[in-house]
Amino acid sequence: MFKKGIFLFLILFSFLARAQKSDSAMLVFKQAELELQALLKQTFYSKVEKERLEGNKKFIAVWDKIVSNPKILDYAFDSLKNDVSIQSPKDKKFKLITWDYHRDEGTFAYFGYLLVNNSKRVKKGLFKHETIQGYEFFKLIDCSPLVKNPETYIGLTGKWFGMLYTDLIECDGFYTLLGSDRNDNITQRKFVDALYFKPDGTPVFGRDIFRIPRKNPKRMMFEWSSDVTMSLRFNDKRNLIIYNHLAPKPGGGELSGQFQFYGPDGSYDALELNKDKWSIIEDIDIRNEKSKNDRAKKPNPKDQKPIFKPK
């Protein structure tokens, strides 16, 4: 009975020690979140570039202090989500943190971290399994100003094509990412990017996941005038990535390829996943499913007024 009591005491002590350690980690993250929250105004909203730069340096320093702790994967940082993108798949394989930095000249730089759960469940004996804990973290280093062709570029975390990720779609063997780059005062860009992990665990951005004849992109890029907006979003009910079709000024065929004159033309296209490849579906109807009493016809894009009006 005495030995049994000691055994139960040790189990309880071990449980309490783990709980205390977990609570301690959460307190560290909460304190870091408060520090980051206090830096938001300076980092993202100051009208003085020098102040934004200094705020961003402090912002990075706070993250640097906490990303080495694997328990960060369980902390949400909810109060930061208006200014910092935090994407994580349902399988909790990783947490992808990104944000942008605005320069006075109108260009943007991107920063972030990729925090990866490398835990593995291995077989031990005939009927037993064991989970081997594993964790890695990577600082994302934006090299996009050096990349001449973003659509064919494949990068690692140290040579990342920077952007602000806005959505994540879990696919078989890879993750599709929707991203935004405010670029400069002339054009802005959005991307359909990809993230996958090599067998040795190395994360890679950009992959051959598109079925687009003659292009073979590793990510899709949309570029248009900074004067207007463009929608790129994942519709989980239809399992489609839906986006505005971009075109130059109506009647401006000579402007083809000059993206400062591009904007939505009133129609929509989509990407559909089929056998692990995204294919383009042109001119889709984005209205709600019609009821049996709805006789409305699909709108003709040629009859619609474009919302884009270049200067």
pLDDT at 138 over 90: yes
Q: What is the pLDDT of residue 238?
A: 95
What is the bridge-based pairing of β-strands 94-102 and 262-274?
A: unpaired
Measured at the alpha carbon of residue 8, what is the angle toward residues 4 and 10, in degrees to the nearest 5?
Answer: 115
pLDDT at 207 over 50: yes
Q: What is the pTM of this model?
A: 0.83
Long-range contact pairs involving 155-159 (C-beta distance under 8 Å, separation at least 24): 155/204, 155/205, 155/206, 156/202, 156/203, 156/204, 156/205, 157/114, 157/203, 157/205
Question: Each residue of 170-199: pLDDT tens digit?
Answer: 999 999 999 999 999 999 999 999 999 999
Closest CA to 151 of 161, 166, 159: 161
Q: What is the pLDDT of residue 253?
A: 63
Question: Each residue of 265-285: pLDDT tens digit?
Answer: 999 999 999 999 999 999 999
pLDDT at 255 over 90: no
Question: Each residue of 79-122: pLDDT tens digit?
Answer: 999 999 999 999 899 999 999 999 999 999 999 999 999 987 76
Q: What is the pLDDT of residue 24?
A: 87
Task: Provide mean pLDDT across the span 40-65.
Answer: 98
